Amino acid sequence: MIAIVLVGLVALIHVYIVYLEMVLWDTPRGHKAFGLTPDFATASKVLAANQGLYNGFLAAGLIWGLYLGEAGFQVKTFFLACVVIAGLYGAATASRKILYIQAVPAALALLVLWLGW
C-alpha cells in the first residue's frame, strides 16, 4: 500500500511538472519555479514544452503501472528507474533542486516497491 501511494505521488509530481513546462513556462509562476528570466522563458518555450512531454510519458508509465496493479511491478520499476536517472542527470547538469523533487521521491518509491510494502 505504501508503494502505491509513493508511486502515485511520483506520478502526480510529474503531471505537475508537465503543467509547469508546457503551460506555465512563460508565466511568472514558471519563471519562479525554474529561476527563469522572461526573455529566456520566451526563447526556450518550445524546448520546455518538449521536455514537458517527456515528463508526461514518465507520469503515464507510472499511472499505467498503477493501473496494472500487482502485474505492473516491472512497469513501475522501469519508470521509477527512469525518473531516478533523469533526476540524477538533471541535478548534475541543471539544478540540484531536481535531486530532491524528482530523484529522491522516485528512489524511495522504488525501494518501497521492491521491499513489497
* Per-residue pLDDT reduced to its tens digit, 12-59: 999 999 999 999 999 999 999 999 999 999 999 999 999 999 999 999
Question: Cell 541535478 maps to which residue?
Answer: 91
What whole-number distance in Å separates Cα of residue 86 and Cα of residue 80?
10
pLDDT band, residue 84 (cuts 50/70/90): very high
pLDDT for 73:
97
Which of these, 10, 24, 23, 31, lies nearest to 86 by C-alpha position? Answer: 10
The three grid cell numbers given for residue 17, joined into one nine-digit string: 511538472
Which of these, 59, 55, 53, lies nearest to 10 by C-alpha position? Answer: 59
pLDDT band, residue 105 (cuts 50/70/90): very high
Q: What is the mean pLDDT of residues 88-95?
A: 95
What whole-number distance in Å separates Cα of residue 103 and Cα of residue 10?
9
Asked if residue 20 lies in contact with residue 53, where contact means CB atoms within 8 angstroms, the answer is no
pLDDT for 48:
96
Asked if residue 83 lies in contact with residue 103, where contact means CB atoms within 8 angstroms, the answer is yes
